Amino acid sequence: MTEIKGLKEIINKLNALPEKLENKVVRKAMRKGINEIRDSARSKVAVDTENLKKSIITVGHREKGKIAFKIAVVKRKAKSAKSPYYAHFLEFGTSKMGAKPFLRPALDETGDKVLESVIEEIKK
């Protein structure tokens, strides 16, 4: 695992900021990081359908006062868009088809890079 220098100083500086400004900075940094995972997942989709790639999105929400983000596969709002119901079949496989995961490998490959990206964004 990568050692990250200066994290303690960043945390101290964030603690000194007003809460509203701190949340804005952290939310922006976290969104940038999670978008890197999303983009990586889109590039790893084995079945080349633009529908599935465009259906992989980032969703922000609050959990008990904490800032949280997740990556979701949702039906797009475009009238011509089809439901990406088959996303979990690709990710986990079926009894007749082997798995062709795209979400887990994206997270595994970009984990350290995302953390560095979040820290750099907070430093700005």
Q: Burial letters for 36-48: b for 16+ Cβ neighbours within 10 Å, e otherwise?
A: bbbebbbebbeee
pLDDT digits (tens, 9 = 90+) for 53-101: 888 999 887 777 777 888 888 887 777 677 888 888 888 999 999 999 9
Looking at residue 17, what is its pLDDT? Answer: 65
- Percentage with pLDDT > 70 across the chain: 83
Q: Which residue would you say has higher pLDDT here, 28 or 8? A: 28
Looking at residue 39, what is its pLDDT? Answer: 92
User: CA 118 → CA 28, 37, 38, 79, 82, distances in Å?
Assistant: 9, 12, 15, 35, 33
Looking at residue 123, what is its pLDDT? Answer: 79
